[in-house]
Structure 1
């Protein structure tokens, strides 16, 4: 619906009349005072730039259309900065389309005095600016409180994560204690172990060991390296160590343990190194299933003690050779997993490094020696893997030195 409203003509000398006409129209149709102030200032600015203009108005559905003409629409690139930009209109005119309020409510008074009307409009604009400033301050305050709450939540979550991390660490330590038994007490023998996981987030793996004294006084040691990482791999290694322990206690010969252990689970795959040491005689027997060889460290030299055999899960598993030697008082035996000699990706070179490192630190107490050797071997880690090192030192000085078999 479109209808015309009375018009008025303004010139540079009658800008007050233009403002009065615009105010009267706004008052008649319930236009808010702040909107009126923007329209009055915009119309006055355009009229002055045009050297005078005629004010016309019409109703277009739910809007009041204020039209100035003749007048040239301001160029977006000119200095005119209108608080209420006009809408596209017919050539030679400038128009503003002001939506009518849903409810007119109490109409703002129209002062006949131009200065009083301008002051009222200014107050309305300032009141609106003050309200926006208050809203801005309240929003900043709410945002600050929200940020504070979020920060407190993050702090609480971080503290909870830390408590959870400590709880997990305690559980893992207990798990490690359960999985890695303390060294048995054997007269004439010093024992130590050092385990280093592949990473802080993987405290358990497939590198496990077991050591116990058989009824005849012989010390039995099992070192297992199950293929893979994580808890599943740990379970595999546990299956092997427990099976070997059961078979050994039942009295099965050393060269038959790996083969029998391989029958337990056909899906299990692990390398195994077995050692039997008699402290009464110094005799050492080694059975191997695809595992890195033991290292014998003596004051004058070092020597690896390989023995043929295939590991659990390998084709034709079992030990095909038993390596026998006799330890002299002061001799040191190292049993380890491949993480110790493959951190740089060259096992042959690292075997040489291990022999040199172990010989250099052979005089240290066995527990300190084990940690020191692992630390030095891992000074440059390119390939992370679980690492296990067991150290055995023969200290019985009452036995004569017979030599290496």
Structure 2
């Protein structure tokens, strides 16, 4: 049966009543009412009528039944809009007719029998609308309850994750502390024991390129020879990490053995090269050797490709003690000669590795800044000077590298001492 409608309220009432008679659920019913009225609104608003036909279709095998609702706008100048409707119509080419095919509950028959009567559409509309509103509210309430449940579960999950994160952070901090303690113990084991020499002040600072890997190729050794002379070895082995540490240890141990056996200072680097290369042909290290007589301040230096030591005198004048030579593992290894100098009371003698002066990739500029830093901190206690100098030198680091700095000084007699 067809019905013709000139107003949206009448059309809505008819659709609602028909859908209710066919047993459509309230949610589907309300979507169908909105979809048909939205599609017809443009036509009815300008005074053109629309027609609505409803019926039942069944599959050939009787497996399912559908309610069909067909809206036609005979006077429409173009196809009816079908995009964005709450209940999409059946697919079809654009036209002035839209059809909805809605599955019906199994074995459903229209309540009251017969076909829908659009003239009686308003009979029970108020109750039908109320039912649709209650359904919408129930769905909304269910969604809100589900939303609250999900928020509660999420809060509990977040609380658990946060607690786990805190536990992991605490555990990670414990592991970091244990790791740091182990590495510190390893570093302390590799460095020579603190040395006290009557008549001399000694200070040292070591700073790894990677704070999480404090072992590197920069190493030093100091000890007293049988005649009371202080021997200092500074080594910078090629590379970083444990392998370079092993190389530096090999060199310092070889130098210590040769020095204690009485080898002249100039010959030690060449002889160390001869001993170590058969054991490790890839070994390469720069080495600086210094000997200081604590009673006279007389010094000897030998050098193998290492940055020169700095002597800052008590009057503020400074000079680098250059000694030509090539390091262990280099072609023609050994110090070409020894250099003799004198350390007077109040003078500051600084030995270091290139990580101190080449942090900005310019060794010449680094040597100039090292003189300025040494002058700036010369009045500090000797034990604090190497670290203070390193802090000034590393205000800008373009080339991170292991850094070693040693400082030696003969203290000046205290003024006002009794004769």
Q: CA deviation at 1:291?
A: 0.5
RMSD: 3.1
Q: Deviations over 1:279-300 (max 9, x none)?
A: 2343322111110111222223
How far the C-alpha of 1:271 sits from its partner, in A, is 0.3
Counterpart of 2:340 (choices 317, 321, 324) is 324
Partner of 1:3: none
Task: Map 1:4-403 to 2 at 5 A.
Answer: 7=1, 9=3, 11=5, 15=11, 16-25=13-22, 27=23, 31-43=24-36, 46=39, 49=44, 50-60=49-59, 62=64, 64-71=66-73, 74-75=80-81, 82-89=85-92, 91-99=95-103, 104=106, 113-262=124-273, 263-264=275-276, 265-300=280-315, 301-395=317-411
Question: SS of 1:240's equivalent?
Answer: helix
CA gap of 1:225–1:109, structure 2 versus 1, over 3 A, is farther
1:197-239 Cα offsets, whole Å, 9 max, x none, are 2243443321111111223322111101112222322222222
**Structure 1 residue ranges (4+ consecutive) displaced by more than 6 angstroms after TM superposition:** 105-112
Change (3 A) 1:17 1:191: closer
Q: In structure 2, do the counterparts of structure 1 residues 364 and 117 end up closer, same or farther at CA, with 3 Å as the change threshold?
A: closer
Normalised to the residue count of structure 1, the TM-score between the two structures is 0.83
| CA–CA separation in structure 1 for the residues paired with 2:260 and 2:52 | 114
Distance 1:379 1:82 in 2: 68
- Contiguous gaps of at least 5 residues in structure 1: 1-6, 398-405
Cα deviation, 1:287-346, whole Å, max 9, x if unaligned, reads 111101112222232222222221011112122211123333333211111122222332
> For residues 148 and 70 of structure 1, what CA distance do their matches in structure 2 show?
58
Q: Kindly tell me: are residues 97 and 242 of structure 1, through their superposed partners in 2, closer, same or farther at Cα, counting changes over 3 Å?
A: farther
SS across alignment from 1:208 = strand
Q: Residue 326 and residue 33 in structure 1: after superposition, are their counterparts in 2 closer, same or farther (change >3 A)?
A: same
Q: 1:161-215 deviations in whole A, cap 9, x for unaligned?
A: 3333323322232222222234311111111101222243443321111111223
Mapped contact 2:199–2:294 kept (Cα < 8 A): yes
Give the 3 Å change call, closer, same or farther, for CA 75–329 of structure 1 in structure 2: same
Distance, in Å, in 2 between the alignment partners of 1:141 and 1:108 is 45
Distance in 2, Cα, partners of 1:272 & 1:109:
105
**Distance in 2 of aligned mates of 1:267 and 1:176:** 24
SS in 2 for 1:220: strand
Deviation at 1:388, TM superposition (A): 1.1
Residues 74 and 255 (structure 1), Cα distance of their counterparts in 2 relative to 1, 3 Å cut: same
Q: Is the Cα contact below 8 Å between 2:67 and 2:101 reproduced in 1?
A: yes
1:21-56 C-alpha deviation (Å, 9 max, x unpaired): 32222x2xxx43322332244345556745332223
CA distance in 2, matches of 1:43, 1:298: 101
| 3-state SS, counterpart of residue 370 of structure 2 | helix
Q: Unmatched 5+ residue regions in structure 2?
A: 113-120, 414-419
Shift of 1:141: 2.4
**Secondary structure at 1:94's aligned position in 2?**
strand
Matches of 2:109 and 2:311 in 1, distance apart? 105
- Report the counterpart of residue 4 of structure 1 in structure 2: none
Indicate the SS of the match to 2:27: helix
Taking the aligned partners of 1:334 and 1:120, their CA distance within structure 2 comes to 94
User: Do the aligned partners of 2:229 and 2:292 also contact (CA within 8 Å) in 1?
Assistant: yes
Q: 1:109, 1:131 → 2: CA distance?
A: 29
The alignment covers a number of residue pairs equal to 382
Is the contact between residue 237 and residue 248 of structure 2 (CA under 8 Å) also seen in structure 1?
Answer: yes
Q: Decide whether aligned partners of structure 1 residues 105 and 234 sit closer, same or farther in structure 2, where only a CA change above 3 A counts.
A: farther
